[in-house]
């Protein structure tokens, strides 16, 4: 199956003669040289795929180009060069009409500062993408009511954005982006403007939604912990370059560059690593009463393993045994050494 | 040694200003005052400008692009300039609209006359539209106020229109209102369209900025003569003058509002799949709604501020009454008309603001009657009162008081005011007179003489020097160019008189404003009070300020200056309060913990930090005083304003002169604006406030 989003050699360079400078450099972009020429490099040679139902989290500090990358893929800005395929079609070559069609049918986006329309109520905000598409008021309001229920805002349908807390406003933003039932869901630092407690709550809510909806997701954040919590895969960006793109546990175990290592240093391993990464796969016929799944995060099953007197078997999704686990390995992860 | 001095001069602006002052004084005293000396006065090389302008206007009106037009009276084709036909049709259209609204409210048959023949109308004299009785209008205003802002606005609307009616000002008030009702929507549409265009196209915005600057600083009088030339006299001419004055703020508000929308909201619209049109009408304009409606509010206020000035080109209504009363020195009557204008301004102001802030609840579960309850009451009460008034036709033999109370039958307090003025006049004659005399002979006279005795080279050096020190070479050349333009006309002396009056008024108004603002800004409550007082005074049409001063100080420079000072104190106060309130609280606390006294805190912390903002207020006072000083021509001063005013009666070469002189005043205001803005920007940056 072809990937839902596929980028190859995407560049975004801001400045007057970006195009000529880029073709002169032959794809070998040096940010410093470009800056001297009056250009700022937003995205530097990004190539990756996002598969159907996968959540890719793009992580980077401010100015790393993560939001720019997201905007290139949603074509809120035009990439300077490169190919961006959405379900096999190059979005950079689309005309305005096709683009509007694509956004109306396939895409939804959530913004950092919510970007709700101040003159519309919760319900009207959520129904807005449907209404610009030409859905009747009755049907769009009906759909919006469903969405209100989905994000847990029942009873506040007629509030105006200014009457809601930050967390509630972002729920509206999420509901709006989901109203057209998009396949692809873009989230641009959706929880960064919220305070830590609410942020945690919204992350849980988000995971719950994703388990129900199973969208293809690109999620931008500057918070490494958030990335670890949510991602199927993480892309770490710096100065427009993707430094590493891998599964969370792999990034923690094998950081590709020093920059990535700095982020991973303080991360508690047991919160990231899965049983799979410490199991003994050479023993596929281990017996025993107690089993853990290979995709379980170590922290969540550590107690179960350490309390057990017997060998613990590791099973996969289909409940067939794939290996066993030695408690000493768990202790090693938990307490280092 | 030498290098050291140079460095000090380079780094210290104070030293630079000192040197500039010395050079200025040297030039002032050394240049001989005789005609023919170009250092004293420049030759009027640009005297041809007003003449050329006139030629262009008349050529456009009578010569260019001739069209063959059928003349129904002479039954033949006539050659007429396309431009003239164009202006004529605009005039006709506007006049029709104004008359239409007027007749709708006051009754009559002029509009019906347009659609049927004269003869038919004469035979069927029942065929007139009935007037709206003032009783119905009062109830209507009450209900409308209630709908918009509860009982307070209801009382304001109801009592306001009751007052207007029983004091006999119903007819002129409606005339003024119909003028506002037609002019405002036109300004709104024009302002919104240009604003959107400017927002969408950067180039258009850059082109609009200087045009708007000139339009907003031109004295309103300057537009009148060209408008008479192009459109003739009448209500429509007043309306056009008002449109020219009131559209620029609408454009600015629209651009400002659209620019303030966060880019995320635009992106959210795009990602929702909006087309360009949907984005504009469903996302951008509604999101900028508050700013746009504030623009509408400004437009309405400008319309009312213009009613007196519009009456000079033939607009009827309260403005005309005020002008006539003022011309015949009937202070009481003038005050009454002025009070009505202020009242209408306040009512419209509060109503539109309430409307702008009103949020609609779309999901209230109401039955048809509940939802439209007020509308139904509104309609039925107007109908009932109309019927009562109609029936009363049989009861009253001459004047039906339920329709209109004519001015001679209405209540009046004019004679009380006249008596009060007489009393003040008799009691304080000597003190007022001697104050007036003192001011004229000891302060204003010498100041005027000093300004007139300034050689042109000294003036140019001073202005360009200040511009150079503050803004660098580009600002200096810009300001110098504008001043040179004035200096090379034959109106330099008059311009100097305008400058002297403006300087005096600006200094006084700024001092007043800074002092008053500082006192009230000490507490939050005080700030609120003084800002709402400023709001209130700003709804006064500029003309109203002239009424009391003329009677206290006669027709002298003093009257105009005092009116200008009072008028311009408002923005100075407002900006002072804003500036002081924007000083961060942490700095207040830091000051207090350093042990400063209240006065020290004011002089060492608050004023320096608030000063850039205060200077922007001073900038506003310049525009305000210039407007009032030019307006003062109406009561007789001898500056540029008087010439603009004089051009009114010289239709032949008037338009060119009026435009040129208006432009001069505008250039003076812009010169100050360029310098002050630059300074405030840099200062704010230096203080880390921007």
By CA distance, what is B264's nearest residue in A?
A: A115
Q: Which CATH class is domain A52-78+92-267?
A: alpha beta
Q: Who has greater pLDDT, A5 or A28?
A: A5
- The pLDDT-based confidence of B44 (bands split at 50, 70, 90) is confident
The CATH number for B555's domain is 1.10.3720.10
- Show which residues on chain B lie within 8 Å of chain A, measured between beta carbons: 262, 264-265, 267-268, 270-275, 278, 282-283, 286-287, 289, 359, 361-363
By CA distance, what is B267's nearest residue in A?
A: A76
Alpha carbons B56 and A242: distance in angstroms, whole number:
65
Top mean pLDDT of A59-68, B27-36, B123-132, B381-390 is at A59-68
Yes or no: say if B201 and B258 are a contact pair by the CB < 8 Å rule.
no
SS3 A290: coil
Using CB atoms, which residue from A115, A123, A180 is nearest to B268? A115
- Residue B380 pLDDT greater than 90, yes or no: no
Does B385 map to a domain? no
Measured in angstroms, the CA of B49 and the nearest CA of chain A are apart by: 42
Kindly list the residues from chain A whose CB atom is less than 8 angstroms away from the CB atom of residue B359.
119, 160
Task: Find the mean pLDDT for residues B487-505.
Answer: 87
Task: Find the mean pLDDT for residues A57-70.
Answer: 91
Percent of chain A with pLDDT over 70: 98
Q: Do B363 and A74 touch (CB under 8 A)?
A: no
pLDDT in tens, B517-529: 999 988 889 999 9
By mean pLDDT, which of A73-82, A186-195, B239-248, B530-539 is the weakest? Answer: B530-539
Q: What is the mean pLDDT of chain A?
A: 87
β-bridge partners, A236: A59, A244
Question: In angstroms, how far is CA B300 from the centroid of its own chain?
Answer: 10
By CA distance, what is B282's nearest residue in A?
A: A132
Task: Find the mean pLDDT for residues B293-316.
Answer: 86
By CA distance, what is A130's nearest residue in B?
A: B272
Token couple for B624: 């305000």
Measured in angstroms, the CA of A224 and the nearest CA of chain B are apart by: 24
DSSP character string of B532-598? HHHHHHHTS-GGGGHHHHHHHH-SSHHHHHHHHHHHHHHHHHHHHHHHHHTS-HHHHHHHHHTT--H
pLDDT in tens, B614-649: 888 888 899 889 888 888 776 666 677 777 777 766
ipTM: 0.85
pTM for this entry = 0.82
Does B664 map to a domain? yes
Q: Do B287 and A119 touch (CB under 8 A)?
A: yes
Alpha carbons A125 and A117: distance in angstroms, whole number:
6
Alpha carbons B28 and B487: distance in angstroms, whole number:
16
- Residue B252 pLDDT greater than 70, yes or no: yes
pLDDT of residue B247: 93
Alpha carbons A280 and A278: distance in angstroms, whole number:
7
pLDDT of residue A337: 52
| CB contact burial B130-141 (16+ within 10 A = b; e otherwise) | ebbbbbbbbbbb
pLDDT of residue A205: 87
Using CB atoms, which residue from A101, A109, A116 is nearest to B271? A109
Q: Do B268 and A103 touch (CB under 8 A)?
A: no
What residues does each domain of chain A span? 52-78+92-267, 271-335
- Residue B112 pLDDT greater than 90, yes or no: no
Identify which of B58, B227, B53, B54 has the alpha carbon closest to the alpha carbon of residue B653.
B54
pLDDT of residue B650: 64
Chain B interface, best mutation among A110, A115, A124, A187, by max B CB count within 10 A? A115
- The pLDDT-based confidence of B110 (bands split at 50, 70, 90) is confident
Identify which of A214, A189, A199 has the alpha carbon closest to the alpha carbon of residue A66.
A189
pLDDT of residue B372: 73
pLDDT of residue B390: 74
SS3 B265: helix
- The pLDDT-based confidence of B493 (bands split at 50, 70, 90) is confident
Measured in angstroms, the CA of A326 and the nearest CA of chain B are apart by: 50
- Residue B371 pLDDT greater than 70, yes or no: no
Kindly list the residues from chain B whose CB atom is less than 8 angstroms away from the CB atom of residue A76.
267, 270-271
Percent of chain B with pLDDT over 70: 92
pLDDT in tens, B218-250: 888 888 888 888 888 888 899 999 999 999 999
Q: Do A109 and B267 touch (CB under 8 A)?
A: yes
Kindly list the residues from chain B whose CB atom is less than 8 angstroms away from the CB atom of residue A120.
286
Kindly list the residues from chain B whose CB atom is less than 8 angstroms away from the CB atom of residue A161.
none
Q: Do B270 and A157 touch (CB under 8 A)?
A: no
Does B222 map to a domain? no
Token couple for B4: 């050291």
- The pLDDT-based confidence of B208 (bands split at 50, 70, 90) is very high
Q: Who has greater pLDDT, A36 or A234?
A: A234
**For residue B617, what are the domain limits?**
416-453+489-687
- Show which residues on chain A lie within 8 Å of chain B, measured between beta carbons: 71, 74, 76, 100-101, 103-104, 107-109, 111-121, 123-124, 128-129, 132-133, 157-158, 160, 173, 176-177, 180, 186
pLDDT of residue B568: 92
Task: Find the mean pLDDT for residues B587-594.
Answer: 82
pLDDT in tens, B645-683: 777 666 566 777 888 888 888 888 898 888 888 888 888
pLDDT of residue B512: 94
Dihedral sign, CA of B585, B586, B587, B588? Answer: positive
Dihedral (Cα; A137, A140, A144, A146), 10-degree rounding: 120
Measured in angstroms, the CA of A52 and the nearest CA of chain B are apart by: 20
Q: What is the mean pLDDT of chain B?
A: 83
Total count of domains within chain B: 1
pLDDT in tens, B67-102: 777 777 777 777 777 788 888 888 888 888 888 888
Question: In angstroms, how far is CA A271 from the centroid of its own chain?
Answer: 18
Instruction: Give residues with Cβ within 8 angstroms of B104, minimum separation 6.
Output: B129, B132
pLDDT of residue B103: 82
Chain B interface, best mutation among A86, A96, A128, A144, by max B CB count within 10 A? A128
Kindly list the residues from chain A whose CB atom is less than 8 angstroms away from the CB atom of residue B287.
117-119
Alpha carbons B322 and B343: distance in angstroms, whole number:
14
Was domain A271-335 assigned CATH 3.10.580.10?
yes
By CA distance, what is B269's nearest residue in A?
A: A129
Q: Do B272 and A128 touch (CB under 8 A)?
A: yes
Kindly list the residues from chain A whose CB atom is less than 8 angstroms away from the CB atom of residue B283.
117
Measured in angstroms, the CA of B365 and the nearest CA of chain A are apart by: 11
Alpha carbons B210 and B208: distance in angstroms, whole number:
6
pLDDT of residue B360: 55
pLDDT of residue B599: 83
pLDDT of residue B146: 87
Q: Do A186 and B289 touch (CB under 8 A)?
A: no
Identify which of B445, B455, B554, B567 has the alpha carbon closest to the alpha carbon of residue B506.
B567
pLDDT of residue A6: 92
């Amino acid at each position: 199956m072809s990937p839902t989003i596929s980028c190859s050699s995407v560049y975004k360079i801001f400045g007057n003669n970006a195009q000529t400078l880029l073709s002169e450099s032959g794809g070998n972009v040096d940010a410093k040289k470009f800056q001297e020429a009056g250009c700022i490099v937003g995205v530097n040679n990004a190539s990756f795929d996002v598969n159907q139902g996968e959540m890719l989290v793009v992580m980077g500090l401010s100015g790393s180009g993560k939001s720019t990358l997201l905007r290139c893929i949603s074509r809120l800005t035009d990439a300077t060069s490169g190919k961006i395929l959405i379900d096999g079609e190059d979005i950079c070559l689309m005309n305005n009409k096709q683009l509007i069609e694509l956004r109306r049918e396939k895409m939804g986006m959530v913004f950092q500062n919510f970007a709700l329309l101040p003159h519309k109520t919760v319900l009207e905000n959520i129904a807005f993408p449907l209404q610009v598409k030409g859905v009747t008021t009755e049907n769009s309001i009906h759909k919006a009511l469903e969405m209100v229920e989905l994000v847990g805002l029942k009873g506040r349908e007629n509030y105006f954005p200014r009457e809601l807390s930050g967390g509630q406003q972002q729920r509206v933003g999420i509901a709006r982006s989901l109203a057209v039932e998009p396949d692809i869901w873009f989230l641009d630092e959706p929880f960064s403007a919220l305070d830590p407690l609410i942020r945690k709550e919204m992350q849980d809510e988000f995971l719950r939604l994703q388990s129900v909806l199973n969208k293809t997701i690109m999620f931008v954040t500057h918070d490494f912990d958030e990335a670890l919590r949510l991602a199927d895969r993480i892309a770490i960006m710096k100065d427009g370059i993707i430094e590493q793109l891998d599964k969370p546990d792999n990034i923690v175990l094998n950081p590709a560059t020093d920059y990535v290592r700095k982020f991973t240093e303080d991360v508690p391993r047991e919160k990231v690593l899965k049983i799979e990464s410490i199991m003994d796969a050479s023993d596929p016929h281990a017996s025993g009463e107690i089993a853990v799944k290979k995709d379980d995060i170590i922290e969540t099953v550590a107690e179960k393993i350490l309390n057990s007197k017997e060998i613990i078997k590791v099973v996969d999704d289909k409940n067939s045994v794939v290996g066993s686990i030695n408690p000493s390995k768990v202790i090693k992860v938990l307490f280092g050494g | 040694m030498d290098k050291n001095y140079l460095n000090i001069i380079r780094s210290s602006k104070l030293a630079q200003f000192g040197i500039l002052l010395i050079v200025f004084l040297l030039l002032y005293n050394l240049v001989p005052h005789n005609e023919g000396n170009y250092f004293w006065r420049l030759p009027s090389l640009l005297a041809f400008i007003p003449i050329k302008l006139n030629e262009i206007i008349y050529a456009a009106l009578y010569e260019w692009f001739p069209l063959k037009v059928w003349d129904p009276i002479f039954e033949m084709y006539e050659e007429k300039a396309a431009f003239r036909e164009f202006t004529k049709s605009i005039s006709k259209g506007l006049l029709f609209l104004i008359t239409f609204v007027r007749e709708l409210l006051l009754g009559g048959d002029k509009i019906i006359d347009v659609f049927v023949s004269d003869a038919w109308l004469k035979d069927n004299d029942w065929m007139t539209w009935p007037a709206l009785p003032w009783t119905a209008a009062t109830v209507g205003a009450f209900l409308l106020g209630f709908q918009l802002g509860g009982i307070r606005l209801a009382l304001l609307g109801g009592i306001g229109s009751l007052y207007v009616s029983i004091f006999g000002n119903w007819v002129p008030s409606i005339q003024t209102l119909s003028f506002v009702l037609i002019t405002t929507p036109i300004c709104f549409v024009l302002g919104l369209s240009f604003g959107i265009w400017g927002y969408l196209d950067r180039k258009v915005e850059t082109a609009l900025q200087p045009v708007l600057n000139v339009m907003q600083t031109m004295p309103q009088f300057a537009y009148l003569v060209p408008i008479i030339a192009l459109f003739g006299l009448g209500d429509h001419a007043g309306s056009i003058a008002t449109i020219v004055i009131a559209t620029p703020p609408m454009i600015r508000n629209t651009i400002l509002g659209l620019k303030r929308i966060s880019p995320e909201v635009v992106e959210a619209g795009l990602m929702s799949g909006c087309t360009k049109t949907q984005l504009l009408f469903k996302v951008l304009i509604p999101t900028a709604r508050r700013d746009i409606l504030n623009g509408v509010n400004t437009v309405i206020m400008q319309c009312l501020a213009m009613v007196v000035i519009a009456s000079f080109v033939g607009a009827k209504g309260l403005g005309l009454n005020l002008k006539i009363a003022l011309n015949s020195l009937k202070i009481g009557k003038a005050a009454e008309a002025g009070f009505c204008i202020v009242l209408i301004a306040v009512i419209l102001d509060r109503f539109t603001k309430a409307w702008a802030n009103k949020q609609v609840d779309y999901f209230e579960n109401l039955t048809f009657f509940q939802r439209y309850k007020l509308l139904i009451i509104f309609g039925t009460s107007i109908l009932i009162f109309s019927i009562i008034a109609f029936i009363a036709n049989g009861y009253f033999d001459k004047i039906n008081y339920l329709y209109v109370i004519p001015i001679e039958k209405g209540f009046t307090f004019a004679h009380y005011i006249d008596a009060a003025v007489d009393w003040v006049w008799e009691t304080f004659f000597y003190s007022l007179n001697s104050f007036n005399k003192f001011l004229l002979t000891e302060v204003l006279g010498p100041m005027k003489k000093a300004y007139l005795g300034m050689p042109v080279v000294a003036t140019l050096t001073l202005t360009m020097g200040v511009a150079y020190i503050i803004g660098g070479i580009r600002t200096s050349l810009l300001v110098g160019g504008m001043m040179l333009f004035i200096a090379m006309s034959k109106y330099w002396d008059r311009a100097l008189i305008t400058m002297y009056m403006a300087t005096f008024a600006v200094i006084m108004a700024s001092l007043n404003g800074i002092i008053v603002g500082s006192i009230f800004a000490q507490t939050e409550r005080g700030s609120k009070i003084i800002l709402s007082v400023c709001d209130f005074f700003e709804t006064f049409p500029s003309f109203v300020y002239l009424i009391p001063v003329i009677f206290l100080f006669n027709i002298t420079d003093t009257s105009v200056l005092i009116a200008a000072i009072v008028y311009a104190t408002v923005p100075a106060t407002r900006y002072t309060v804003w500036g002081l309130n924007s000083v961060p609280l942490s700095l207040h606390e830091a000051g207090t913990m350093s042990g400063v006294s209240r006065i020290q805190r004011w002089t060492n912390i608050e004023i320096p930090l608030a000063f850039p903002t205060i200077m922007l207020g001073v900038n506003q006072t310049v525009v305000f005083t210039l407007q009032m000083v030019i307006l003062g021509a109406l009561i007789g001063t001898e500056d540029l304003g008087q010439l603009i005013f004089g051009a009114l009666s010289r239709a032949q070469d008037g338009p060119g002169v009026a435009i040129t002189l208006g432009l001069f005043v505008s250039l003076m205001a812009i010169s100050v604006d360029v310098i002050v803005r630059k300074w405030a920007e840099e200062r704010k940056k230096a203080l880390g406030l921007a």
